[in-house]
Amino acid sequence: MKRIFILLLLLSTGTTFSQNNLNELTFEEYLGYVKKNHPLVKQADLKITEAQAKLMKARGGFDPKLEAEYNEKQFSDKNYYSVFNGSFKIPTWYGVEIKAAFDNNEGIYINPENTLPNSGLTSLGISVPIGQGLWINERMADLRKAKIYQKVNEAERKIMITEVLFEASKSYINWKRNFDEVKLYEDYLKNATTRFNGITILIEEGDKPAIDSIEAGITVKNRRLNLENANLKLLKSKLVLSNYLWTEEGTPLELENNIYPESEIEKDFLFTLKIDEFQNFSIENHPKIEALNRKIEILDVETKLFANSFLPKIDLNYNYLSEPSAFDDYRLNDYKFGVNFAFPLFLRKERANLKLAKIRVNESKFSLNFEQQSLISKIESQKFEINSFKKQIKLNTELVNSYDQMLKAEERLFQMGESSLFLINSRENTLVTSQLSNIALQNNYLQAALELYKTMANPQ
C-alpha cells in the first residue's frame, strides 16, 4: 500500500493548521477529515440515496402505462382471426383510473362479441372504486410510506455517522493520552539521567556513597522501561487512529511520527462536538426518537390500509365507444358499462391483519416511551459525570502542584546534605503517579463527553 504522509495531505488540501506549529493535528481538523472522507460516512450518506430511490419506486405506481396486444391466426389460407388491443392508462391519486383504448379485430372465426366496425373502435373511459380503494389503496400507501421513509433514513444516517465519529474521536483521545504519557516519561527519564550523572560525579569526588549510583541507576532503568511501554501504546494508538484518515479518492493514510495531537483539547472539546449547549437539548429532536415516530406513522398508514379492506370492493367502469372517424359525434347510447363486486363473508383474514397492525403500533409506542425515558436518564447521568470529572481534574491538578513543591523542597534539602536520594525518588514517583492520574482524568473527562455526544447523536 502506498505510503502517504498526513502532513502533505493537510497542506495540499488548503487546510491550515495552528499557526503555532504546523505539526499539530487539532481535533477539529481531524474530525473534519473523518466526516469528509471516511468510507463508513460515505456509506451512511447512501441512506439518503436509498430513500430517494424508494420514493421514485413508489411514484412509479402512478406512472401512465401504454399497453398493446396483437394476436393473429392463419391456417389453410384462411384468416381465422386478427385481434389488436391497444390502451393508454393514467392512474390517479384516489384509485380512479382513466383509460383510452383502440381495438381492431377481424377474421372469419372471430368471437361475435369481438366483432367491430371495419375501421376499429375507440373508447375513452374511467374506472372508479366506490368502496375499498377509494380513500386509500396499496399504491397510495406505498407512496405515503416512501415519503416517511426519507425521514427515517435521515435519522438512521445521523445515528450511523455518530457511531463512526464516536469511534474516531475515541481513537484520537487515546492517541493524545498515550502521547502525553510518552512526553511525561521522556521528561522524567531526562531528570533521572541527569541525576544519575550528577551522583556519579559526586561519588568519584568522594561526596556520596557508591550505593547511591545503584539507586539512581535503578530509577533510570525504570524510566526507560516505562517509556518503552508508553511508546508501544502510542504506536498502537496511532495505527488505530490511521484507520479513520482517508483521501477523497479512498486511499488510506498513515500518520507521520512528527504529527502530534492538540495540547489543550479539553478547552473546545464540547464546542467541537456541538454538545456545549446540552442543557437546551430536546429529546424530541433525537434521531432515534425521530425514527421511531416516523416508523409509527408508517404503521398507521398500514393500519388504515388494512381497515379499508373491511369495505366491499365495488369498481364502476364506464367507457364511451366510437368509431375513429366519428369520435367527435357523441352518441349517448354507445358505451360499455360494468360493475365489479367482491366481499368476503367472514373477514377473518382482514380482521387478523388489522389486529396484527394495531399490535405492531402499540409495540412501537411502548418502545418509543422506553427509549425516551432511557435517553433522558442516560443524558442526565452523563452530564453529572462530565461535571464530576471537571471537579476531579481541578482537585488533582492542585495535588500535582503540591507534590511538585514537595519534590523541589526535597531536592534543595538534598543539595544541603539533609536528605537522601531515596526520598527524592519517592517524592518524584508520587509526583509522576499524580501526573499520570491527571492524564487519565482528562481522558475520562473526554470519554464522558464522547459518550454524551454518542447519546445525543447530533453529528452536524
DSSP codes joined into one string, 190-220: HHHHHHHHHHHHHHHTTSS-THHHHHHHHHH
Residues 6 or more apart from 383 whose CB is under 8 A from it? 278, 452
Residue 43 lies in a domain: no
Cα separation, 20 vs 173, whole angstroms: 21
pLDDT of residue 49: 87
* Domain shared by 435 and 404, yes or no: yes
pLDDT of residue 278: 62
* Domain shared by 208 and 332, yes or no: no
* Domain shared by 182 and 72, yes or no: no
pLDDT of residue 11: 27
Per-position b or e across 56-74, b if 16+ CB within 10 A of its CB: eebeeeeeeeeeeeeeeee
Question: How many angstroms from the chain centroid is the CA of residue 136?
Answer: 33
Number of structural domains the chain divides into? 2
pTM of the model: 0.82
Residue 118 lies in a domain: yes
pLDDT of residue 327: 57
* Residue-range definition of the domain harbouring residue 327: 65-92+96-132+313-345
Residue 305 lies in a domain: no
Cα separation, 162 vs 120, whole angstroms: 65
Per-position b or e across 299-309, b if 16+ CB within 10 A of its CB: bbbbbbbbebb
Question: How many angstroms from the chain centroid is the CA of residue 231?
Answer: 34
Residue 336 lies in a domain: yes
* Domain shared by 276 and 170, yes or no: yes
* Domain shared by 322 and 192, yes or no: no
Cα separation, 110 vs 108, whole angstroms: 6
* Domain shared by 230 and 287, yes or no: yes
* Secondary structure class of 279 (helix, strand, coil): helix
Residue 306 lies in a domain: no
* Domain shared by 124 and 174, yes or no: no
Say if strands 335-342 and 78-91 run parallel, antiparallel, or are unpaired.
unpaired
Residue 44 lies in a domain: no
* Domain shared by 373 and 322, yes or no: no
* Domain shared by 190 and 247, yes or no: yes
- pLDDT < 70 positions in the chain: 1-22, 278-280, 326-330, 460
Question: How many angstroms from the chain centroid is the CA of residue 159?
Answer: 4
Asked if 152 and 284 count as a contact pair (C-beta separation under 8 A), the reply is: no
* CATH number of the domain encompassing residue 378: 1.20.1600.10
Mean pLDDT estimate for the chain:
86
* Domain shared by 223 and 84, yes or no: no
pLDDT of residue 302: 92
Residue 107 lies in a domain: yes
Residue 415 lies in a domain: yes
Residues 6 or more apart from 205 whose CB is under 8 A from it? none
Asked if 219 and 227 count as a contact pair (C-beta separation under 8 A), the reply is: no
* Domain shared by 369 and 234, yes or no: yes
pLDDT of residue 5: 31
C-alpha cell read off for 238: 496511532
* Domain shared by 286 and 320, yes or no: no
